[in-house]
Amino acid sequence: MSEELTTRASGKTVAAVVIAVLAWASAFVVIRDVGHAISPAPMTLLRLAVAGVALTVPVVARHRGAVRLSRKSLLLVVIYAVVWLVAYTIAINAAEQHVDAGTTALLVNIAPLLVAFGAGMFLGEGYPRALIGGGVVALAGVAIISLGGVAHRDWIGVVLSVAAAVLYAGGVLVQKVALRSINEFVAIWLGCLIGTVVLLPWAPQLAGELAAASPGEITGAVYLGLCPTALGFTAWAYALRRMNAGRLTVTTYAIPAVSVLISWLALDEIPTVFGLVGGVICLIGIAISRRTPAAGTRTGRVLFGRRRGRRRETSPQPCTGMAAGGGRRG
């Protein structure tokens, strides 16, 4: 790939990361409004159903219905759909009914470090000191943000938050492997459809809760499907296919800081000193993690796929009508 194309792809990847962070940060704000009207599993069902419908149009337009993939690729999509899109989202929705947002953010943000270590061990990304150090600094920033939250905690919420972090990390690692052989639009689209099917038993409960919900609450739930789910997860998958999983996931430490800013602008919730200081520390940690590691720092074992030496993540080959299993990773 030429230097010009590499630069252009890098710019698109950065834009995708920014979109994902903004979309997911906004979700925390909207869930505060919707969570009391729609239960965790039904809310997840609505999110995935709306996202699946929204993504059907671009997928059909791009691939003209000729989407084929191997059994292995389909199995990986099923796994991360159930683990991340379904189980993680339900756990987060449920946790916020027991634990304040600051504590939830702190516990769930164990996930980026889990991804960094998991990617080093299973995907051969190694353990760059800048990545691990930056992740620890960013986690400290999240901890400071959580100090400004309301101290409403119980063990159910703590367990759900930690479970969500583990599910998040597992989902990212499986999705990274799946994206080696399937286009990101197709991967998220199929994941949303699979998640919708898994959650269909909660459809009657969703119908009853929607009937009792206000138009604003329904609009908020639909927004969660269109923006944080359809747009956010697609942008994330685009970036994940082109970046190391560990390095990308550390950028999600910016989400609590951005959530504080969005709450300030949208809900007129003035951030605390803890929120401002913690947000700055999060950004410093992310900046540290983005430092380019020195050559030869990849020491992780590869358990998924083959080690390919000191390769660079580049843009994948364009998909021409189908996502075939076993394709080369970008």
63 versus 225: the higher-pLDDT residue is 225
Tokens of 289: 């993690």
Whether the Cβ atoms of residue 85 and residue 192 lie closer than 8 Å to each other? yes
216 token code pair: 């604003």
| E-state strands within the chain | none
* pLDDT above 70 coverage of the chain, percent: 64
**Residue 282, pLDDT above cutoff 60:** yes
- Flag whether pLDDT at 10 surpasses 60: yes
Those residues with Cβ within 8 angstroms of residue 223's Cβ, 6 or more apart along the chain or in another chain:
30
Nearest to 99 by CA among 39, 38, 154, 149: 154
CA distance 160 to 103: 11
The pLDDT of residue 276: 67
Residue 302: φ, ψ to 5°: -100, 115
Using the predicted structure, report yes or no on whether residue 127 has a pLDDT greater than 90. Answer: no
pLDDT given for residue 317 in this prediction = 44
Q: What is the pTM of this model?
A: 0.72
Are residues 85 and 233 in contact, defined by beta-carbon separation less than 8 angstroms? Answer: yes
pLDDT at 67: 66
Kindly report, residue by residue over 241-269, the tens digit of the pLDDT. Answer: 888 777 787 777 777 777 767 766 766 66
Q: What's the distance, Cα to Cα, between the start and end of the chain in Å?
A: 11
Give the number of other Cβ atoms within 10 Å of residue 59's Cβ. Answer: 19
Q: Which residues pair with 287 in a beta bridge?
A: none
Q: 24 with 249: CB under 8 angstroms?
A: no
Span 137-161, average pLDDT: 67
95 versus 32: the higher-pLDDT residue is 95
19 pLDDT more than 70: yes
Q: For residue 302, list its beta bridge partners.
A: 123
The identity of residue 239, as a single letter, is: A
C-beta neighbour count of 56 within 10 angstroms: 13
Say if CB 97 and CB 38 are below 8 A apart: no
Distances (CA, A) of 56 to 70, 155, 230, 259, 323: 20, 40, 10, 29, 15
pLDDT computed for residue 242 by the predictor: 84
For the segment 280-306, the average pLDDT, to the nearest whole number, is 55
Cα dihedral 153, 155, 156, 158 sign: positive
Identity of residue 242: R
pLDDT, residue 119, reads: 62
Q: Which amino acid is at 124?
A: G
Q: Which of 84, 143, 83 is nearest to 110 (CA)?
A: 143
Instruction: Please provide the average confidence, as pLDDT, over all residues in the chain.
Output: 75
- Distance, CA of 285 to chain centre: 19
